[in-house]
Structures are given as C-alpha cells and as structure tokens.
Chains A and B, each alone.
Chain A
Amino acid sequence: MTVKRDSATTGAGAVPTGPAIVVDGLTKRFGERTAFTDVSFEVAYGEVFGFLGPNGAGKTTTVRTLGTLLAPTSGTATVAGLPLTGANGVEIRRRIAVMPEAPGLYLRLSVAENLDFFAGLYELDDRRARIERALRAVNLLDRADDPCRSLSKGLRQRVGLARALLSDPEILFLDEPTSGLDPLAARDVHELIDGMRRRGVTIFLTTHRLAEAEALCDRVGIMNTTLRTIGRPDELREQLFAKTLQVTTREPVADPGAVFAGLPGVEGWHPASSGDGYVLAVTDPDLAAPAVARALVAADADLLALSPSRHSLEDVYLQLIEEDVEARTR
C-alpha cells in the first residue's frame, strides 16, 4: 500500500511494526457544528502523508484530535501504536510531536529557553545536546540566545520545527508549516521536511499548497469535512482524469480520422482547443504514443511534440472541491 522506508531511525529506537496511524470512522463535533465526520485512513511508518483541504475542512481539528488535544465525538483511532483514549494520552504524546498552525513561542524567552522548557516537558536527559542538534537541524544555532520576539515569522516557524524535533518523535504532525512564509523560507522548510523524511520520520502534513504536497508527500488525502479521496498523487490524477495524449504537428494532418483510427490504445480524438494539434483519448499512453508517432510519420506529417497530458494535484483538488460546492448549491 505504501512506500517502505528504513524506519530504524525513528524515535522509538526499535523498529515499530504496524501502521503509524489508523483512523476509523472518526468524527468531531463542536455542539451543532461538525468539524469532520466519518474519516478513515491509515498512515504507514516512514510515510509522509499530506492532508489537503480548503479552509474549515477540519484539518487542524483532525490534527488536534489525533494529538489528544480534543476528544473525538465518535469513531476510533490508533496513534503510534496506541488506541486513542484518554488513558493513553500521556504515552501517545510522548511518542509524537505536533507543530501547530501558529508556532506558539514564548516571545519574551530566548530560542534556547523555549526549547529547554519543552525538553523538560518531555523529560529528556541530554537536554543541551538535543537542543543543539535540533537548532543545527533548522540552521538556527547562531540565534539560540536571541529572544523569540526578535525573530521573523520564517525563523519562528523554524524554532517551532526545532521544538518538534527535540524529542525524536515517531510521528511528526505539521499543521501548515509554510503558511505565510515567502517562497525562499518555504523552500527551506521543504528541505527540512525532506531531510526528516529521508531519516524515516513519519510525517503528517496539512497544507493548502498543492505543489508542496505533490513534491513532499508519498500519499495525500483530500479532506472537506469528510475524506474525499486518498492515494498517491499520481494515482489520484489517474483516477480523476481521462488519460490523453497531446499531439502537435507543424501543419494540420490531411485526414486525422484515418491516421488515428484503429491505432492500439487510442479510443478517440478531437482537435486541440489551442488549434495546432490534436487530443487523443487513450487507454495507455505508453502503448499509444509509439503507434501514433509511427502513423503520423507514415502519413508524412511533421510531428513536433507528443506528450501525455499532465494533470497536477491542483487539478484533482479543484475538481473535487468544486464538486462539493456544486453539490451544496444544487
């Protein structure tokens, strides 16, 4: 189901077995308002799981629920191998780390003082070494003694990340770690996440940035109060969109119907809306593309480009969320 990675470097020391997170029919309501309902999914150890959805979709509430901050209204979940119950709260929190939407630093305290406090809350032994390691990981060692008040938003975000790394968590929840960051700062955070993923940390990442999810995540779930879909980014693209080949030729082909008809893997065609080529509906681009190329050459057409259509995760996302909006207005 998922990408296997070396999980020997995760926090617990021993190689954890079974999925890192199992969510089954989880629902959270605040009085009349439903934050999310009937959500089910699994995340494997070592996986980077992206949780996408529009504002108010219930992403943060899901993170808070799995992080034992909020009790679910119904449904069950297992986090880091432990059933999500009040009695397991302390032990679950020992194994995970959460970086909330807002980094939540004590602005009057220095970076090191902030981290030292959290190292104490995790009852960590070699605090000084761990703080140093975490700060080095986010490239902030030289700012250790600066008060957090004096840090820019991007730097504060990095302190938040360092804090989340302190305890070597098995699972790291990151709630929109790049929101409000400029592209450069966001790229720094992406590199950090990528570094953690290479070390085998399980990451649960909520985000609005689809390119971010596409680049970083092994699998994504698209959420809109309920889980709309889940899968690898390329799987989702395939599920949602018909497969096509874009054909570009120098001159219009004399009789495109005759050229494309009966080719293996080609189901139909129509002229491209841009006017300089054709769009072919295909069952399998890998099978169809060589046949199409040969047929065009045989028909004496100058083939300029032949490419399978690229739908981004953004297309998938917009398609799903727009379906929801339409369903609601109907």
Chain B
Amino acid sequence: MNAKNGLSWIRVRALVRKEINDYRRNRFIAVTMAILPVVFMVSPMITLFKLPADAPASKLDASVGLSALYLMLVPAFVPAVVASYSVVGEREQGTLEPVLTTPIRAGEFLIGKALAALLPAVVISYTMYGVFLGVVGGFAHENVVHDIFEAPRILAQLLFTPLIAGWSIWAGIAISTRTGDVRVAQQLSTLASLPPLAITTLVGFDVIKPTVTVAVGLGLGLLVIDILAWRVVSALFRRERLLTGAKAA
C-alpha cells in the first residue's frame, strides 16, 4: 500500500478529514475562519471606494498597497490559528496519546496537520480575493480598477497566498509542539506569521515594482523558506516530544 519508509496517504487523508470535521465544530476556529476574512476584505474595499476619482497617484498606490497587505493577512493568520491548535489542542484533549499508538508516523502526522490547515486557508483566501476583485472591478473608479487588475499584482497575490500560509503553518506547528497552552500558542503563532508579509508588502506598496519576474522570483524565495521551515520542523518533530511537550530525556 505504501513504500516501507514512505508516507501513507490513507493515514494522511484520514487525519485531514478528521481535522476539518473537528474544527468546523470548534467555535473559536470556525469564528476565526468566518470573521477574519470578512474584516480583512471589507476594510480595504471601503478604503478603495472612498478614494475620490481624482486622487493623486501616490494616494492611489498607498491604498492599493494597503489592500494587498490586508488581503495577505488572511492566508497568514487563518492557518496560523489552526496550526497553533494542532498539537497542543490534541494534547489538552488527551487525544494525542491514542493517535500516536496507531501506526501513524511523525511525518504523516505533520503533513496531515499541515494540509488540514493549508486547504481551508487557500480556499478561503482565494474566495475572498475573488469576491474582492469582483466587487472592486464592478464598483470602484476606473483608475483603481486598473491598478488592482494589473497582471503581476494578481499573479503575486495568487502565488503568495499558499506560500505565506505555508510559513504560518510550519511556525504554528512548531510553536504548538512546544507550548502547553492553546491561547499562548495562538498568540505566538499570529506574531510568527508576520515576518514574510514584509516581502509581499514591498510589492504591494511598489517599493519593488511588481512585474511578473519579481512576483515569480519572490514566490520562489518564499517557497525555499517554506521548504526549509518544513525540514526544520520535521527534524524537531519527535514522538516523545509530541506527547509530553518536553525535551526527550
């Protein structure tokens, strides 16, 4: 069914399905997933709609940049909250021990937890971005629309969304493995999800001129960071550590 040392996708899928079933019914996570995207979509829309038709280019750029940043907060925060819950939440419920006594490997557990945070984050973020484009495209001033619909900008948003989420997930899981308290894990993870936003902000505010090359280049940079983060978290991910939250003796 699976290679001797490979991953079992049956187990990974079982974990992803359980996770999504579970946090759909977890009020805190469900509310985070529902409210955050709306807030971070509506506020930039309002800013853009309030721009007068003859707004100076600098003002326009700043507003468009701000909207890009807002939109990027969702793929940063939503998976950070979910991932921060992933290990410490199970430990608190006492469910980690029975899971770890099944044939699941640490790597499968890690990938399953990560995918379960990534999938909803990407779906929510893309949906939100689609609605944002639709509303702005339909109702904003022409010069705003022109700016928002620049191809490199859209490409950057689409590329960066899963990559930013990836960073938040690895940071969130790493923190979740080490803390004994769900709230603390959530706060730390939210903070830890911020640094990569610096990169996207550079593009959003035209500090780096958004071209296709720049978007792809920065995307590759984020990808490398994500892969490194994954390797680091995998290396730190030990069964004994997961169970007790303490360093192995």
In contact, A118 and B98 (Cβ under 8 angstroms) = yes
In the complex, whether B15 has a CB less than 8 A from a CB of chain A is: yes
**Residue total for A at the interface (Cβ-Cβ under 8 A):** 39
**Residue total for B at the interface (Cβ-Cβ under 8 A):** 31
In the complex, whether A107 has a CB less than 8 A from a CB of chain B is: yes
In contact, A106 and B93 (Cβ under 8 angstroms) = yes
In contact, B95 and A105 (Cβ under 8 angstroms) = yes
| Given A98-B98, A104-B94, A109-B22, A121 and B103 contact (CB-CB distance below 8 Å) | yes
Residues 88-103 (chain B) with a chain A CB within 8 angstroms = 93-103
Task: Specify which of A64, A96, A105, A117 is in contact with B14 (CB 8 Å cutoff).
Answer: A117
A29, B240: Cα distance in complex, Å: 13
In the complex, whether A209 has a CB less than 8 A from a CB of chain B is: no
Q: A187 → chain B, closest Cβ, in Å?
A: 24
Write out, one digit per residue, whether chain B residues 17-30 have a CB within 8 A of any chain A CB (1) or not (0).
11001100110000
List residues of chain A with CB within 8 A of the CB of B22: 106, 108-109
List residues of chain B with CB within 8 A of the CB of A99: 98
| Given A69-B239, A108-B22, A113-B21, A121 and B15 contact (CB-CB distance below 8 Å) | yes
| Given A106-B22, A108-B22, A118-B98, A90 and B14 contact (CB-CB distance below 8 Å) | no
In the complex, whether A102 has a CB less than 8 A from a CB of chain B is: yes
In contact, A120 and B10 (Cβ under 8 angstroms) = yes
In contact, A121 and B240 (Cβ under 8 angstroms) = no
List residues of chain A with CB within 8 A of the CB of B249: 29-31, 73
A261, B96: Cα distance in complex, Å: 66
In contact, A90 and B25 (Cβ under 8 angstroms) = no
In contact, B93 and A120 (Cβ under 8 angstroms) = no
A313, B14: Cα distance in complex, Å: 44
Task: Specify which of B10, B95, B100 is in contact with A69 (CB 8 Å cutoff).
Answer: B100
In the complex, whether B8 has a CB less than 8 A from a CB of chain A is: yes
In the complex, whether A277 has a CB less than 8 A from a CB of chain B is: no
In contact, B243 and A117 (Cβ under 8 angstroms) = no
In the complex, whether A71 has a CB less than 8 A from a CB of chain B is: yes
| Given A94-B103, A122-B103, A106 and B18 contact (CB-CB distance below 8 Å) | yes
Write out, one digit per residue, whether chain B residues 225-249 have a CB within 8 A of any chain A CB (1) or not (0).
0000000000000011001000011
A99, B97: Cα distance in complex, Å: 9
Most buried by A among B14, B17, B99, B240: B14
List residues of chain B with CB within 8 A of the CB of A70: 240, 243
List residues of chain B with CB within 8 A of the CB of A106: 18, 22, 93, 95
In the complex, whether A83 has a CB less than 8 A from a CB of chain B is: no
Q: B2 → chain A, closest Cβ, in Å?
A: 8
List residues of chain B with CB within 8 A of the CB of A109: 18, 21-22, 25
In the complex, whether B104 has a CB less than 8 A from a CB of chain A is: yes
**Residue of A whose beta carbon sits closest to that of B242:** A69
In contact, A108 and B25 (Cβ under 8 angstroms) = yes
In the complex, whether A77 has a CB less than 8 A from a CB of chain B is: no
Most buried by A among B10, B15, B95, B101: B101
In the complex, whether A16 has a CB less than 8 A from a CB of chain B is: no
In the complex, whether B13 has a CB less than 8 A from a CB of chain A is: yes
A86, B60: Cα distance in complex, Å: 59
In the complex, whether A198 has a CB less than 8 A from a CB of chain B is: no
A73, B249: Cα distance in complex, Å: 8
In contact, A123 and B11 (Cβ under 8 angstroms) = yes
**Residue of B whose beta carbon sits closest to that of A107:** B93
A94, B8: Cα distance in complex, Å: 13
In the complex, whether A67 has a CB less than 8 A from a CB of chain B is: yes
| Given A69-B243, A70-B243, A71-B248, A104 and B18 contact (CB-CB distance below 8 Å) | no
A304, B113: Cα distance in complex, Å: 72
A188, B248: Cα distance in complex, Å: 38
A103, B99: Cα distance in complex, Å: 11
In the complex, whether A93 has a CB less than 8 A from a CB of chain B is: yes
In contact, A120 and B98 (Cβ under 8 angstroms) = no
In contact, B102 and A102 (Cβ under 8 angstroms) = no
List residues of chain A with CB within 8 A of the CB of B95: 104-106
In contact, A121 and B94 (Cβ under 8 angstroms) = no
In the complex, whether A59 has a CB less than 8 A from a CB of chain B is: no
Can you list 17 residue pairs at the A/B interface with Cβ under 8 Å?
A: A29-B249, A31-B249, A69-B101, A93-B101, A98-B101, A103-B98, A104-B94, A108-B25, A108-B26, A109-B18, A109-B21, A120-B14, A121-B14, A122-B102, A123-B1, A123-B10, A163-B98
A residues whose Cβ falls under 8 Å from a Cβ of B: 29-31, 64, 67-71, 73, 89-91, 93-94, 96-100, 102-109, 113, 116-123, 160, 163
8 nearest A-B residue pairs (beta carbon)? A120-B14, A121-B102, A98-B101, A104-B94, A108-B25, A117-B18, A102-B94, A104-B95
B residues whose Cβ falls under 8 Å from a Cβ of A: 1, 8, 10-11, 13-15, 17-18, 21-22, 25-26, 93-105, 239-240, 243, 248-249
